[in-house]
């Protein structure tokens, strides 16, 4: 994820906001694909993996997940009783 943060930062000017999108101010397929991974991490391991990932890079990944959820809605609860 740190490599992704560096790639995002390399492709934008320092004052471009928000800092978590690949091509601000628009959401791209890359942002949605990454968000899907973040949602999956949060759903399957909220107390271990997500707690750690959500703080990486100054909370960038939590901000991305929150923004996508706010704009596109929640995917709901993941079933784990298969």
User: What's the pLDDT at 69?
Assistant: 85
CB atoms within 10 A of CB 8: 22
What tens digit of pLDDT does each residue of 22-69 get?
777 778 888 888 889 998 999 899 999 999 999 999 999 999 888 888
Residue 81 in contact with residue 26, Cβ under 8 Å?
no
Distance CA 43, CA 49 (A): 10
User: What's the pLDDT at 6?
Assistant: 85
User: What's the pLDDT at 11?
Assistant: 72
More confident residue, 1 or 25: 1
């Amino acid at each position: 994820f740190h490599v992704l943060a560096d790639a995002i930062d390399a492709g934008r000017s320092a004052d471009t906001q928000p800092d978590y999108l690949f091509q601000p101010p628009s959401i791209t397929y890359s942002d949605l694909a990454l968000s899907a991974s973040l949602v999956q991490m949060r759903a399957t391991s909220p107390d271990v993996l997500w707690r750690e990932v959500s703080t990486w890079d100054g909370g960038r990944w939590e901000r991305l997940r929150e923004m996508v959820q706010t704009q596109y809605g929640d995917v709901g609860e993941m079933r784990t009783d298969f």
